[in-house]
Structure 1
Amino acid sequence: MKLIVVAVPGAGKSTILGIVKSKLPDVTVVNYGDYMFDVAKRRYGITHRDEMRRKLPLSEYRRVQEIAAEEIAKLPGDVLIDTHAAIRMSGGFYPGLPSRIVERLMPDAIIVLEFNPMDIIQRRMKDEALRIREKETPQEIEMHQLANRHYAFAAANEAECPVYILDFHNKVQEKPFQHAEEAAAFIVDLLIKNRQSSLNPPQP
């Protein structure tokens, strides 16, 4: 089963996927951007992820996207694909899952993680020492989450797969990482149910 998991930067997606991996060690977690960088490094000598957009012509950048998607699609077993549905660019948004990429990945489902923007801002503040991110207001974060949702539906239409919205906007955490644990539990349950249905296919 291949699942695409999307959220705005700093929402805690990596933490969630790490919890899934701890519960199901045989699951493969891949970062789409890391795969793109690996392809760009091999084929064009790119030495830093940020150089991909600056140094590669658009046609070559798109080819890197496609090769990365083709390599991920070949991975066996259950695969969780960490990527972005909407990429913020100079006042607007760029599709992170265009049709030519989705038709190569062919996910079984797309999971969209949404949170209260203030929770995301707090998580980003904790990561400031590790990551440099553009400052966003709560309204801008909410708009980004809305863009994620729209782009995810468009991608799912291409792949003919379901979209699951895990909305934690109004859910107060009663303990640290509660949101992450609940999101991870949903993903684990989805994977286990798929494995069980594969072992016991419906009789004709």
Structure 2
Amino acid sequence: MEPEKGSLRDRKRRRAREAIIAAAHELFAERGFDGVTVADIAERAEVGRATFFRHFGDKQEVVFGATRLQEAARAESARAEAAAPIGDSLDAALSHLRDVVVTFARRLTEHPDAFSRHERLVAAHPELRARSLTKQRRYAETLYALLLRNGAGHETATLAAEIGVACYHAGHTLAEGDPERLAGAVDAAFERLRSPGA
């Protein structure tokens, strides 16, 4: 097993966050989303309410706790740091984002059963679908910021970020809820942009 990285404090925070996410999803499966309170989650995770709120604003946020586009973006940004600046090339911007968004899709589906449970939970609750739309805007902002850091101009970064989010959602729709197909479907959406006549 690979040792955890970071300081002791960071590791404790990460373990607490993971315990909260795991406890919440267990409880949602047992009682349904509406039948679970923050106090229930904190008790199951064996943390205090204050610890819960250090990590999450409410129980809706826990549902999306594992969907960390920012982590995929940081990893890709570090990997590609030495690449030439993107400038105004939309092709270069989309090529850069393709790696980030496909990596994000792979991370989301590393645990297929958990991914499927998450999808069913969000689909069953209008308030979670609304929170998902808010998350989409944040994803576009994350991709935009990543492109700016890699030398893209404002217009190019704006357009490419929106297209990147659209490719994820097109792939998500085409995968029809199958976690085994998601990353490939997202990648295929980006590829289609490179070969629009295909």
TM-score class, shorter-chain normalisation, is 0.3 to 0.5
Larger strand proportion of the pair: 1
Higher relative contact order structure (alpha carbons within 8 Å, sequence separation ≥ 6): 1
TM-score of the superposed pair, with normalisation by structure 1: 0.32
Larger helix proportion of the pair: 2
TM-score of the superposed pair, with normalisation by structure 2: 0.32
